[in-house]
Structure 1
Amino acid sequence: MARGGPHGERCQGCRLIPSHCLCHLRPIMSTRAGICLLMAEHESLKPSNTGWLIADVVPDTFAFGWARTEVDPALLTLLTDPQWQPYVVFPGEFVAPERVISQVPEETDPQADAVELPTQIKQRPLFILLDATWSEARKIFKKSPYLLAFPVLSLEPAQLSRYRLRRSKRDDHLCTSEVAALCLSMAGDQLAGEILDAYLDVFSDHYLRAKQQVKVSWDDELHQRLHALTDQNDNTKMFEK
């Protein structure tokens, strides 16, 4: 049933059954930050996975399967690309204190003065998210030596997870899309973070309605919020032009 019922009918874009497809609601943002997903085995195959929602919203989203014995060369190339400053997003309580940060450096206006700015200020933040269950994420963090060179961003979200499709044993554990939304906001991409948050709510609603064989309510509060935020983004683009 998780694969679409006896006939296996699912949209190739959003993974929902055709009657609950939300591809036409896909919001695309221009963001300062990028997202790098390290995905546990089989995570990308789960219909309830929210990592792909991030890729729908953030153009600079990169995804790699994780394996203990080998590393994708493209991942290493990305992590050493000078345009990016990588941050590993992981709870600080499990990390040496000297690696932990709680804020992302703000972007500095290069026209503020003529002095050459430090390289790390010019770089765009690249948030490395471990897209896995909590036990798998800890394993990825511990057994990925190529992540040791980067600071660890420890999040302290003010709200508990609202993700309803798969439940962690701890309510303060957020799903991948929720973490990305918080990171975007911390990097100055506030509207993108809000849109991704709203997009997750709509996806969760469509997913559960499809599972329960209930029709989508296209004009409810969740859809109205997403439309309002995407309209705000469109208006901002027109103003900038």
Structure 2
Amino acid sequence: MPHAVSRLRAQRLAACTKPFVARGSRAPRCPGCRVIFSYCLCAWRPRVEAQSGMCLVMYDVEPLKPTNTGWLIADVIEQTSAFGWSRKAVDEQLLALLDDPQWQPYIVFPGEFVAPERVVSQVQPAPGKRPLFILLDATWTEARKMFRKSPYLERFPVLSLQAEQMSRYKLRRSKRDDHFCTAEVAALCLELAGDERAAEALDAYLDVFTSHYLGAKFQLAMDEGDEVHERLKAFL
């Protein structure tokens, strides 16, 4: 069954006025992993459980990009929702999710741009609630715009991540090494929420995805017995 990001991608494709062609390759891609068929990684999708939920709010064509790592989050975390962002209209299903009493939403954003009273560094949901991490899936410039122009998010605490490691993401590199890709952010959130196994699985899956994607891009031979594949095997 297609997951939330896959469904949003299909909706976005249906709304396109002209075909969307991923930059750098016109080769047919596997619909399950968005990598060309000879480098498909569908067999490497991990299976783990998590108490946390993920809410991806995605900017414009973000669901269409084969390098988008929100797709990986939805592959790993069953409780993942995905919504397109618009300044003028808000998806009613998104608002319903944010009001669902089973969840404690946290919007994940750098604390340096937020009023101090909203910022938290730990995940401590109220009794009976599960953490729901709201991730603005976009470039840094787009994410700042989304944060400023989404008043329905202003009532939630802002989880500011203080990660010590540099970003390992190699597909769409930010100019700043302290900017993480969406899957890295999700893994850090999972770790803070006590979902360590899911965090480790997502990290390992991101590394394998990167390996397959770059292998396809540069026509490299794949070694499925290497360190990154071996690390992911524990979660299959």
TM-score, normalised relative to structure 2? 0.89
Q: Which residue of 1 is the match for residue 123 of structure 2?
A: 104
Report how far residue 30 of structure 1 moved: 1.4
Do structure 1's residue 43 and structure 2's residue 49 form an aligned pair?
no
Task: Provide the C-alpha distance between the structure 2 equivalents of 1:96 and 1:3, rounded to a whole number of angstroms.
Answer: 38
1:59-93 CA distances to partner (integer Å, 9 max, x unpaired)? 00000000000000000000000000000000000
Which residue in the other structure is 2:82 paired with? 63
| Distance (Å, rounded) in 2 between the aligned partners of 1:25 and 1:208 | 16
Partners of 1:195 and 1:142 in 2: how far apart?
32
Using the TM superposition, give the Cα deviation of residue 225 of structure 1 relative to its aligned residue in structure 2, in angstroms. 0.6
Residue aligning to 1:210: 216
Unaligned runs of 5+ in 2: 1-20
Query: Which amino acid in the other structure matches residue 181 of structure 2?
Result: C
1:200 maps to which of 194, 206, 221: 206
Asked if 1:154 corresponds to 2:152, the answer is: no
Q: Name the CA distance, whole Å, in 2 between partners of 1:66 and 1:97.
A: 26
For residues 139 and 161 of structure 2, what CA distance do their matches in structure 1 show?
17
> Which residue of the other structure, out of 188, 193, 198, is the alignment partner of 1:187?
193
Deviations 1:19-47 (A, max 9, x none): 10000111122111000000000001111
Are the counterparts in 2 of residues 43 and 131 from structure 1 also a CA contact under 8 Å?
yes
Q: Root-mean-square deviation (CA), in Å?
A: 1.3
Give 3-state SS (helix, strand or coil) of 1:125's partner: strand
Map of 2:146 onto structure 1: 140
Contact 1:4 1:16 in 2 (8 A): no
Q: Matches of 1:163 and 1:185 in 2, distance apart?
A: 18
Displacement after TM superposition at 1:216 (Å) = 1.3
Query: Of 214, 225, 229, which residue of structure 2 is paired with 1:219?
Result: 225
**Contact map agreement 1:28 1:59 (CA 8 A) in 2:** no
- Distance in 2 between residues matched to 1:28 and 1:82, nearest whole Å: 27
Q: 2:35 maps to what in 1?
A: 16
Aligned to 2:49: 30
Counterpart of 1:171, as a letter, is D
Give ranges in structure 1 of 5+ residues lacking alignment.
Answer: 107-119, 232-241
Query: Normalising to structure 1: TM-score of the pair?
Result: 0.87
Measured in 1, the distance between the counterparts of 2:52 and 2:25 equals 38
How far apart are the structure 2 equivalents of 1:63 and 1:55? 9
Which residue of structure 2 lines up, in the alignment, with residue 94 of structure 1? 113
| Separation in structure 1 between the aligned mates of residue 228 and residue 138 of structure 2, nearest angstrom | 26
- Deviation sequence 1:151-180 (CA, Å, 0-9, x none): 000001010100000011110000000000
1:77 maps to what in 2?
A: 96
Question: Letter of the aligned partner of 1:35 in structure 2?
Answer: M
Query: Whole-Å Cα distance in 1 between the matches of residues 160 and 128 of structure 2?
Result: 22
Q: Which residue of 2 aligns with 1:170?
A: 176
Asked if 2 retains the 8 angstrom alpha-carbon contact of 1:4 and 1:17, the reply is: no
Q: What corresponds to 1:112 in structure 2?
A: none
Q: Which runs of 4+ in 1 moved over 6 A?
A: none
Higher-Rg member (1/2): 1
Q: Distance in 2 between matches of 1:135 and 1:35?
A: 22
1:31–1:192: 8 Å Cα contact kept in structure 2?
A: yes
How far off its partner does 1:2 sit? 3.9
Amino acid at match of 1:124: R
